[in-house]
Amino acid sequence: MAGKKKRTPNLQNDSWVVVAADSVINTKKHDSDPTFVRLRNPATDGASLYLLGSGDTQLYEVKAFEEDFHSWFVGQIVNRDGRLLFVTPMDPLYLILPYLIKSGNEGKFQPVHQVVMDEEFPACSRLLSCTRAQASLHHIAEEKEVGSQKFYRYSQERTMNWLKKKVERIVVALKKKNISVGEGVKSSTYVRAQIKSEDQEDDYLRYAHGLISEYICEDLSKAFLKHLGLPELTSPKETEPPSKKRKLSDKPVEAGEDYTKFNSADFARKPPKKMTAAQKSLAKVDKSGMKTMSSFFSPKVKAEKK
């Protein structure tokens, strides 16, 4: 019965369950409301949803907790969309970085508003009004000041140092939150005895690198891994043994187990399982005068005698 149920497509709904700090919706200081904007996701190069606080002073990313079979009861309303949206502060530099890298290939110093431009995502220029954005550009670019104007050029070296600081802070946060980072640990609810911290240092570093790679492009992520001095992990596919059959020895093949014990008398067969209704009714049929199936296959003795 349940198998027949079909999930109807999630229709447009106009309410969501969102977890956000009060400061996100605090519009007292500025006249504009906080707005959701679609911007280029630096890791996927596709569109992702972000939120700009009022006055575009703070950038937030939007993540959704999404699992099958969830719905909300909100007040007197059922919301079919069981997602829980998180609006969390984000460093706008991550989103500005891809544009700087792109223009960095030209090798010129440029005013930043000429760099952060995107036909597909015109809202990206608003990133520059974030309080942290312009002031922290020196973390990822070299600066030149000519008159009152500032010019920037992407610097891989500065970016690496900036990312390294980020990773160090992530490691601190991971330890503080007791997040299990080891390869073997699957469940975060499974509490295991503390392992030697030195062994885990690399695990933490790799985990933090993985987390930061969610916010930078793949090429940068690889370069950064090298910068951290961590070897690239080989994919498990390559380490798999060849699927060829191997001959272990030239000795004749012998049975590994003794099956003759099943031939002894005390090895009783299990009684047959319950018969189906059809089998039962067949069993009740009057079989007197019927030939057995095998009789049809044995030579016809009588016929030959005649």
Partner 1 sequence: MDLSPFEANNSVSCRLVSQIPDVCRTEDCCLGIDEAGRGPVLGPMVYGICFCPVSKKEELKDSKVADSKTLSEEERENLFQKLDEAKSYVGWALQILSPNTISTSMLQRTKYNLNALSHDTAIDLIQYALDSGVQLKEVFVDTVGPAEKYEQKLSQRFPGIDVTVRPKADSLFPIVSAASICAKVARDRVVKGWNFTEDLGEVDTDYGSGYPNDPKTKAWLLKYLDPVFGYPQFVRFSWSTAQTLMDSKAVTVHWDDDEEAGEKAAQRQNNRSMLSYFSAAVGGGDQSAPHQTHRFFTERKLKSVDAL
Binding positions for partner 1, rule: CB under 8 A: 1-3, 5-8, 16, 36, 38, 41, 43-44, 46-49, 61-69, 78, 85-86, 179, 188, 207, 210-211, 213-214, 218, 235
Smallest distance from partner 1 to CB 114, Å: 27
Quote the CA–CA distance of 198 and 287 in Å, as a whole number: 80
Nearer to partner 1 by Cβ, of 183 and 199: the residue is 183
Nearer to partner 1, 158 or 217 (CB): 217
As measured in angstroms, the least distance from the Cβ of 57 to partner 1 is 22
Q: Residue length, the chain?
A: 306
Taking the least distance from each CB to partner 1, the nearer of 40 and 126 is 40
Cα(77)–Cα(80) distance, integer angstroms: 10
CB 43 within 8 A of CB 213: yes
User: Which one, 48 or 161, has the nearer CB to partner 1?
Assistant: 48
- Min dist CB 200 to partner 1, Å, is 16
Alpha-carbon gap, residue 86 to 65, rounded angstroms: 8
Helix (H) or strand (E) holding 19: strand 18-20
Residue 220 makes CB contacts below 8 A (sequence gap 6+) with: 97, 101, 159
Name the minimum Å distance from CB 13 to partner 1.
9
Residues in contact with 266: Cβ distance below 8 Å, sequence separation at least 6, in sequence order: none
Q: How far is the CB of 8 from partner 1 (least distance, A)?
A: 8
Tell me whether residue 31 or residue 183 sits nearer to partner 1 (CB atom): 183
Residues 108, 111, 114, 118, CA torsion sign: positive
